[in-house]
Amino acid sequence: MRLKGKTAIITGAGSGIGAATAERFAAEGARLVLNDLNAADLTRTLTTIGGSGHERVGGDVSQEATAERLVATACKQFGGIDVLVNNAGIHFIRDITETSSEDWDGVMAVNLKSMFLCSKHAIPEMVKQGSGSIVNLASISSFVGQEMEGQSTYLYNVTKAGAQQLAVSLATRYAADGVRVNAVCPGATRTGQIRHENPNRSGEAEAAIWEGAGGVTPLGRVAKPSEIAAAILFLASDESSFVTGSSLVVDGGYLAR
């Protein structure tokens, strides 16, 4: 029960790492305020963890009104915010020469602007109570160039580098106020993200992507969402009380090569 009595906001909680984190946090005693753009996915997560005692705030967290509602709901229902997990994000595979301004703005908004907005509204409440932990979902893509299916993931990589640097910058600024900020950097993790990025990709092609990702990982496989949730739990809990401004890499050894 490492989060007993604590209130946590999790964005992108309807599926993948966000849903796994919600499940783990609930098992550890947290009171949750969950967000996702997809109402059906969010309902499924709440059903899985047992919806009683938790709150939901649907909507797009790249819109400031949604970020404000998340924080306001946590404060009204539970009296404050102890943990913010900035998890909402989308994948993007396209070379820069084929990327429109609208593509750039859209991916930046979901993957990075949402973290800015949620942190902007959560930090004053954490400063007020003298404590808090923010965890940004970055990636191994924060550190390396990558390609998939003959095209670049550069825009996704840029947003994840931004997520990592946002954590570092907020960590140094708010450490004296008792607010810790860190990033988790997963390697390839078996979620539905690449399916959402390209719903027309065949099952065989998707399986080949996962097989290839596992093949270049020293541990010989991709991660499960629950394994990333365990790392997020560590940074959210008091077990990491002397950890701030860090990037916890959870990649099966990929970056160690």
Q: Which residues are catalytic?
A: 156
Contact 186, 235 (CB under 8 A): no
Token digits of residue 136:
């940004």
Are 80 and 74 a contacting pair, CB within 8 Å? yes
H or E stretch at 247: strand 247-250
What is the pairing mode between strands 55-56 and 147-148? unpaired
Sign for the CA dihedral angle at 85, 90, 95, 99 comes to negative
Read off the amino acid at residue 39. A
The letter for the amino acid at 152 is S
The sign one gets for the Cα dihedral 89, 154, 191, 136 is negative
Residue 23 CA to residue 44 CA, distance in Å, equals 11
Q: Tokens representing 76?
A: 């009204």
State whether residue 197 is helix, strand or coil: helix
In whole angstroms, give the CA distance from residue 135 to residue 233: 9
